[in-house]
Amino acid sequence: MTIISRSEDLTILIAVADSGGFSAAAQQLNIQVAKVSRAVARVEEQLNTSIFNRTTRRVELTEEGRIFIEKAREGLEKLSEAEEWLKVRHQKPAGRLRIDSASPFVLHQLTPHIKSVHSITS
């Protein structure tokens, strides 16, 4: 599987679709209009299709553009969820813990805590 569109470009594309124009998207994202224009042109060139119908007064999604934006939005949301999951996963301790201790201490002091942690994570 090859992904030809950069996530930054897709974010810009979605902003154009949501805001209704290149200038509004640039203002919303706090970037230059030229950067918005380049990102849209890059995606359209890579996909060999027009995402937007442009007039001097407005920008409208083509039918292909509407479907692509919908799927790109879903994909970026899934990617964001995956990244968040990894961040949280790396914040939790993981792996095997070995404890060398006297049996009564393990039985009375550690085992109750291990059971409660195990039941929470299971």
> Across residues 15-42, what is the average pLDDT?
95
Q: Which residues pair with 60 in a beta bridge?
A: 53
Q: Is the pLDDT of residue 26 over 60?
A: yes
Question: In the prediction, which pLDDT does 115 show?
Answer: 62
Q: What is the pLDDT of residues 79-105, one digit of tens each?
A: 899 999 888 887 877 777 777 888 888
Exposed / middle / buried, residue 89 (Cβ in 10 Å: 0-12, 13-18, 19+): exposed
Task: Tell which residue, 46, 39, 48, has the closest CA to residue 17.
Answer: 39
Question: In the prediction, which pLDDT does 91 show?
Answer: 80
Question: In the prediction, which pLDDT does 122 show?
Answer: 43
**Cα(106)–Cα(102) distance, rounded to whole angstroms?**
6
Question: In the prediction, which pLDDT does 28 show?
Answer: 95
pTM for the whole structure: 0.68
**Cα(27)–Cα(43) distance, rounded to whole angstroms?**
20
Q: What is the pLDDT of residues 46-69, one digit of tens each?
A: 999 999 998 888 899 999 999 999
Domains of the chain plus CATH, in order, are: 7-92 (1.10.10.10)
